Structure 1
Amino acid sequence: MKLIVRHQTSYSYGAGSSRVAMLLKLMPRRHHGQRVLEWQVTVNDDPVFGFAPNGYGDLEALWIRHRHMTGVNVVATGMVETSDTNGIISGLDEHFNPRIYLRETALTEPSAAIRELAGSVRDGDPLDRLHALSAAVRDAVAYRPGITRPETTAGEALMIGGGVCQDHAQIFISAARSLGVPARYVAGYLATQDGEALHETHAWAEAMVPGLGWVGFDTSNRVCVTDSYVRLASGLDADDAAPVRGSAMAAGTIGIDADVRIAQASDDEREQQLQKQQQQQWTLPARARE
């Protein structure tokens, strides 16, 4: 499936800002279920270059400006080809011990209730138990927007009994780690069947399954990831994997507005992409001779 994505995040500074710094994790990378055909990131219409792998292998870039600004507009756009791999995420070319994803954070520290929830899942092989754990988390936490905050911990969300995809993912991660299973938070995009525009990125979890590797669990939707998902960045928790993190020297009110649009590419759009690829094939040898 070919998916077109447009992700815009706008910041407004009521009294202006003299310095803005942003860490951007907005460049998806290739794996066996995902191929990036075209992608660009801009800040205030200027392209951002210099994306490089971080400690997790995800691509990130730092954008800094020292001048007066009343706002910053970050836009990531592109086309990604995806395929359904039954939830298995392979081919990321990672060179670290997965056990680093057993580390607890302030957002994922397991409460007594999370440990109890994890301990209730006993039957089946490792994959079956993780499926059962994901279902148990979703049964315990209803999807209810507006009752949790970005700083809400996994334990707090479970106690509230409601939340959004961030909360579902972090509770699952916390519970899996309490069982000795490496698990990580993933931020990305989900193409809905109705093509509805979203207001933010989607979130899910990946857990390390013996014999299979990383498997993606979207607890909110009770499924493993499919070709409707675009993987963007990962980390120990939501804060660690945030696609955009910034700081500003500003007085007054700071406003943030986000908008995500993702849809399957039409035949015309796929043809335009093919033509671009053919043009690149013709022009690359000429550039190489220069």
Structure 2
Amino acid sequence: MKKKITHTLVYTYEIPVSLDEHLICLKPRSNGFQKLCNYELEIFPSSHSIFPMLSENGDDIFKVVFSGSTNSLTIKSKSEIETKVHPDLFQLENNYDLSLPLKIESNNTLIGFIKGWFPNGQHDPAAIKIAQEALAGINNNVLDFLYQLIELIKDRVKYTPRHLGPAWTSGRTLSERVGSCRDLAILLMETCRCVGIPSRFVSGYQFMDQPPNKYELHAWTEVFIPGLGWRGFDPSGCGLINQNYVALASSSMSELVAPVRGTFVGPSKLKSELNWNIEIT
């Protein structure tokens, strides 16, 4: 399936400000189940320099350095991408041991993806509790666990859009019984880590057969399954992701895959506004 994605963000300030360094994370991946055919990044004001970078997970990030002052910042990301069908994991031949907890001690690159979400590295007790429930009645297999866990999350938490603020902890999402896509992605990620499944937060887009009034950036979780690699699961959507998903970037921390990170210099209590638009055809 071929898609064209135009993502535009417009920041406006009530008086001219000086823009500090910005990091832009809006270039889709080109690997696995998606091929990036063309990409353009437009930034206004034109008085800037762009430096391409790679994140710790190998995703493209652009560092932008500005000069002068401005009362607006416009960022337009235009992608042409082709996505492929994702096979059913249960239909793939896999001779690896998928019993829990997964045995990944020999793979140092995965150790960081099973640490707890809390700053001290501990797991959220609420995530541990729901992980124990998801383990009940299954054959201690990672795929059975994932599907049962996603059903539990969908039963316990109602998806609701939330545009402002960082992702919630698993405990808050479960106690509120509502959560945005990033809240549910963190909940799935943290719960998987409780049983030794490497997992990470993903930012991207989800194409709809019936387009919504306004597309928004989406978030889901990728888990590492021996013999199958990193595979995406969306607890606020269809479970195992399909060709309607386009990944931008992934990280152990949700804030590191924000589409734009940066600051500006101006008077205190300066008013600013953000407007965005995402077109997918």
Structure 2 length-normalised TM: 0.83
Deviations, residues 27-84 of structure 1 (Å, cap 9, x unaligned) = 1221131111111111117597542322110011111213211111111112100001
Distance change (3 Å), C-alpha of 1:148 and 1:248 = closer
Deviations, residues 235-271 of structure 1 (Å, cap 9, x unaligned) = 11321221211111133112112221212xxxxxxxx
Segments of 5+ residues of structure 1 without an aligned counterpart are 89-94, 264-290
**SS of residue matched to 1:240:** helix
**Paired position in structure 1 for 2:4:** 4
Q: Distance in 2 between matches of 1:10 and 1:106?
A: 33
Range 120-129 or range 171-180, more displaced? 120-129
**Is the counterpart of residue 229 in structure 1 residue 245 in structure 2?**
yes
Q: Distance in 2 between matches of 1:145 and 1:228?
A: 19
**Paired position in structure 1 for 2:100:** none
**Is the counterpart of residue 169 in structure 1 residue 185 in structure 2?**
yes
**Paired position in structure 2 for 1:178:** 194
**Paired position in structure 2 for 1:78:** 79
**Paired position in structure 1 for 2:233:** 217
Q: Distance in 2 between matches of 1:143 and 1:247?
A: 30
Match for 1:135 among 151, 159, 162? 151
Match for 1:116 among 115, 126, 129? 129
**Paired position in structure 2 for 1:271:** none
Deviations, residues 134-169 of structure 1 (Å, cap 9, x unaligned) = 221222110123497325333212211101111110
Segments of 5+ residues of structure 2 without an aligned counterpart are 90-106
**SS of residue matched to 1:232:** strand
Q: Is the 8 A contact 1:18 1:249 kept in 2?
A: yes
**Is the counterpart of residue 249 in structure 1 residue 271 in structure 2?**
no
Distance change (3 Å), C-alpha of 1:71 and 1:36 = same
| Displacement of 1:197 | 4.9
Q: Distance in 2 between matches of 1:18 and 1:68?
A: 5
Once superposed, what is the RMSD of the aligned Cα atoms?
Answer: 2.4
Counterpart mapping for 1:1-290 below 5 A: 1-44=1-44, 46=46, 49-86=50-87, 97-106=109-118, 110-122=123-135, 123-124=138-139, 125-146=141-162, 149-251=165-267, 252-263=270-281
Range 35-44 or range 141-150, more displaced? 141-150
Count of residue pairs the alignment pairs up: 257
**SS of residue matched to 1:177:** helix
Structure 1 length-normalised TM: 0.81
| Displacement of 1:4 | 0.7
The AA in structure 2 aligned to 1:104 is G
Q: Is the 8 A contact 1:86 1:225 kept in 2?
A: no
Q: Distance in 2 between matches of 1:202 and 1:116?
A: 26
Range 166-175 or range 122-131, more displaced? 122-131
**Paired position in structure 2 for 1:287:** none
**SS of residue matched to 2:113:** helix
Q: Is the 8 A contact 2:49 2:65 kept in 1?
A: no
Q: Distance in 1 between matches of 2:182 and 2:273?
A: 21
Distance change (3 Å), C-alpha of 1:154 and 1:254 = farther
Q: Distance in 2 between matches of 1:173 and 1:53?
A: 23
Distance change (3 Å), C-alpha of 1:4 and 1:197 = farther
Q: Distance in 2 between matches of 1:40 and 1:147?
A: 26
